[in-house]
Structure 1
Amino acid sequence: MREWAEYSVEERGGRVTVSITGPLVVSSIGALDPELRDFGDSVQFVDLAGVGRIDTVGAWVVHRFAQEKGAEIIGGSESAMVLIDAVEECAHEADITPPRPFAIGRISEGVGKQVVEFGQGARRNIGFLGAILTSMAGTFAHPGRLRLRALVRQMELVGVTALPIVGLMSFLIGIVIAQQGAVQLRQFGAEAFTVNLVGRITLRELGVLMTAIMVAGRSGSAFAAQLGTMKLTEEIDAMRTIGVSPMEALVLPRILASVLMMPLLGFYASIMAIIGGAVIGDLMLGIPFWTFIARVQEVVPTHDFWVGMIKAPVFGLIVALAGCYQGMQVKGNAEEVGLRTTMAVVYAIFMVIVLDAFFAVFFTEIGWG
Structure 2
Amino acid sequence: MRNWADFETVEGAGGPVLRVSGPLVVASIAPLDMRLREMTTLAAIDISKVSDIDTVGAWSIWRASTELDAKIEGASDKAQRLIEAVSNAKSTAPISPVRPKALERVPEAVGERVTEFATGVKDMLAFLGLTIMAFGALIRHPRRFPHLALVRQLELVGVSSLGIIGLMSFLIGIVIAQQGAVQLQQFGAEIYTINLTGRLTLRELGVLMTAIMVAGRSGSAFAAQIGTMKLTEEVDAMRTIGVSPIERLVVPRILAAVLMMPVLGFYSSVIAIIGGAFIANFALDIPFWTFLSRIREVVPMTDLWVGLIKAPVFGLIVAMSGCYQGMQVSGNAEEVGLRTTLAVVQAIFMVIVLDAFFAIFFTEIGWA
After superposition, residues 1-369 of structure 1 pair within 5 angstroms as 3-4=6-7, 6=9, 10-11=13-14, 19-23=17-21, 25-33=29-37, 35=39, 46=44, 48=46, 52=50, 54-64=53-63, 73-89=72-88, 91-104=89-102, 105-369=104-368
Q: CA deviation at 1:196?
A: 0.5
CA contact (8 A) 1:66 1:73 kept: yes
Change (3 A) 1:7 1:101: farther
Q: CA deviation at 1:8?
A: 5.1
Q: CA deviation at 1:26?
A: 3.9
- SS of match in other structure, 1:227: helix
Q: CA deviation at 1:204?
A: 0.4
CA contact (8 A) 2:173 2:275 kept: yes
Sequence identity of aligned pairs in percent?
A: 60
Q: CA deviation at 1:283?
A: 2.5
- SS of match in other structure, 1:27: helix
Q: CA deviation at 1:50?
A: 5.9
Task: Kindly report the root-mean-square deviation, in angstroms, between the aligned alpha carbons of the 2 structures.
Answer: 2.7
CA contact (8 A) 2:157 2:218 kept: yes
Give the unaligned 5+ runs of structure 1.
Answer: 12-16
TM-score (norm 2): 0.87
Distance 1:34 1:172 in 2: 65
CA offsets per residue over residues 234-275 of structure 1, 9 Å max, x none? 111111111111111111011111111111111111111111
Change (3 A) 1:362 1:247: same
Q: CA deviation at 1:162?
A: 1.7
Matched with 1:14 is none
TM-score (norm 1): 0.87
Counterpart of 1:168 in structure 2: which amino acid? L
- SS of match in other structure, 1:21: strand
CA contact (8 A) 1:19 1:47 kept: yes
CA contact (8 A) 1:7 1:19 kept: yes
Q: CA deviation at 1:98?
A: 3.6
Q: CA deviation at 1:153?
A: 1.9
CA contact (8 A) 1:227 1:327 kept: yes
Change (3 A) 1:278 1:115: closer
Give the unaligned 5+ runs of structure 2.
Answer: none
Counterpart of 1:256 in structure 2: which amino acid? L
Change (3 A) 1:22 1:205: same
Distance 2:6 2:133 in 1: 73
CA contact (8 A) 1:198 1:277 kept: yes
CA contact (8 A) 2:7 2:18 kept: no
- SS of match in other structure, 1:269: helix
Counterpart of 1:28 in structure 2: which amino acid? L
Change (3 A) 1:9 1:365: farther
Counterpart of 1:345 in structure 2: which amino acid? V
Aligned length: 357
Q: CA deviation at 1:302?
A: 1.6
Q: CA deviation at 1:287?
A: 2.1
Counterpart of 2:318 in structure 1: which amino acid? V
CA offsets per residue over residues 123-151 of structure 1, 9 Å max, x none? 32222112111112222333333222222
Change (3 A) 1:59 1:149: closer
CA offsets per residue over residues 288-324 of structure 1, 9 Å max, x none? 2222222111111221111111111111111111111
Q: CA deviation at 1:96?
A: 4.8
Distance 2:358 2:339 in 1: 28
